[in-house]
Amino acid sequence: MRILFLRPDNEDTELNEKLMLLQKNGIEVLNIPIFKIKCIPYSLPNYDYEALAFTSRNSVICFKEHFLIKNRKIYAIGEETSELLMRMYNTNPITPEKFTSVELARRILEDKVNSVLSIRSKKASEDMKNLLNGKIKYDEIYVYDSEIIGDNINKVSKILAKCEVDAIAFTSSLMARLIGPYISRKCKIIVYSIGPITTETLKRVNNEVKIIESKTHSIKGIIETILVEMKRNG
């Protein structure tokens, strides 16, 4: 089995270690970055927030005001984001059961938090704003952006056009939006999605493919899903 695993360019060694699980099980992995993550300048609002919300590992990495982590409620989307916060700041983040921005916003409302600063990507969705504005004091800062690697997009499109892989794994909705349209039904490529937002994007840009969504919305979860499906299908 040959799988195309899409990722950002600057993922650390943890991802490579996780991908080794696939290789140890006889799966050939094409690991192609299609965008770079860049930390960008930002300004903090002049407000003493009750809580901070981190929506990805990159938001943790690019946030520089470490002193603000102390004595505040910390929210996180996903196991990997939560684990990084615990490792860097010895804090115990509150994580919604489903790893989406919508579920995070709902959890914040359930906890009756009065004010939240969310640390996000410049390309973040409007979901949290739409749910929280007008109900609590809610602000966002954008600490990183995604720079598309055009040459690799072309490379991936050619691989898919020639049916050179058996499966493809999408680990973000941006990847789904960029690459999803290139998947052809004729190739019968198995499509794996990290979670519901990515799945929704895939369905929107390509309604011809069957999607297998990871039950646990993390890199570890999607790798486990791939291994389970491989064993199930022999």
Q: Is residue 138 within 8 Å of 132, Cβ to Cβ?
A: yes
At 123-168, the pLDDT tens digits run: 998 999 999 999 999 999 999 999 999 999 999 999 999 999 999 9
- Give pLDDT, residue 99: 83
- Give pLDDT, residue 97: 85
| The domain made up of 40-146 is a member of CATH 3.30.70.1400 | no
Q: At 89, which amino acid appears? A: Y
- Give pLDDT, residue 234: 59
- Give pLDDT, residue 208: 87
CA atoms within 13 A on the CB side of 13: 0
User: Class for domain 2-34+149-232, per CATH?
Assistant: alpha beta
Residue ranges of domains in the chain? 2-34+149-232, 40-146
Same fold, 2-34+149-232 and 40-146: yes
- Give pLDDT, residue 150: 94
At 192-211, the pLDDT tens digits run: 999 888 999 999 999 888 89
- Give pLDDT, residue 17: 79
Q: At 202, which amino acid appears? A: L
- Give pLDDT, residue 232: 80
- Give pLDDT, residue 233: 73
Q: What is the mean pLDDT of each run of 10 residues along the chain (234 residues)?
A: 83 72 90 91 96 95 93 93 94 91 96 98 93 97 95 96 96 92 94 92 92 89 91 73
- Give pLDDT, residue 231: 80
